Amino acid sequence: MTLQDRLSEDLREAMRSGDTMRRDVVRMARNAIAYAEKAKGAPLDDAEALTALQQQARQRRDSIEAYRVAGRPDRMAQESSELAVLEHYLPQLMEPEEVEAAARAVIEQLGASGPGDKGKVMGRLMSELKGKADGGLVNATVTELLQA
């Protein structure tokens, strides 16, 4: 079953059960995929559809942080609920310790020694961890390791 088939089935189930939060988030996810298909001009495969959902999840994380700073717990809770539904469709992200271990391995492979080598390390690491780890976490980890 493809990701889009799963979303369609979950939408039907949410509508039957009256779960308006899940229904609305699944609709939003399907719309994000449809928009990406229109931009590409062709149907998306599962990896590309997953990328569209990851972008939606990233937007929710950014919004949660913005609402936290602005002191809007009501909106923060709404965005958190939406993120929880989206994360149901995303692969489990790596833990910070796993990201650090992978970053150390790439730094050692490339012989990187300082902040000037960050571009090389990030390029290799992000190609290895695409979809498996949060890019912000990877960036922060590499920066910290190269400055040490």
pLDDT digits (tens, 9 = 90+) for 18-57: 999 999 999 999 999 999 999 999 999 988 999 899 999 9
Q: What is the mean pLDDT of residues 120-147?
A: 88
Q: What pLDDT, on a 0 to 100 scale, did the predictor assign at position 135?
A: 83
Q: How far is CA 145 from CA 120, 129, 141, in A?
A: 14, 17, 6
Q: What pLDDT, on a 0 to 100 scale, did the predictor assign at position 13?
A: 97
pTM: 0.74
Q: Tell me whether residue 112 is exposed, middle or buried, using C-beta atoms within 10 angstroms of its C-beta: 0 to 12, 13 to 18, 19 or more.
A: buried
Q: What is the mean pLDDT of residues 111-131?
A: 87
Q: What pLDDT, on a 0 to 100 scale, did the predictor assign at position 91?
A: 86
Q: What pLDDT, on a 0 to 100 scale, did the predictor assign at position 92?
A: 86
Q: How far is CA 46 from CA 6, 67, 80, 96, in A?
A: 11, 31, 25, 26
Q: What pLDDT, on a 0 to 100 scale, did the predictor assign at position 134?
A: 81
At the top level of CATH, the class of 96-147 is: mainly alpha
Q: What is the mean pLDDT of residues 99-106?
A: 91
Domain formed by 3-87, architecture: Orthogonal Bundle (1.10)
**Which residue's entry shows tokens 């809770």?**
77
Question: Percent of the chain, pLDDT > 70?
Answer: 100
148 pLDDT band, cuts 50/70/90, is confident
Q: Tell me whether residue 118 is exposed, middle or buried, using C-beta atoms within 10 angstroms of its C-beta: 0 to 12, 13 to 18, 19 or more.
A: middle
71 pLDDT band, cuts 50/70/90, is very high
Give domain limits for the chain: 3-87, 96-147
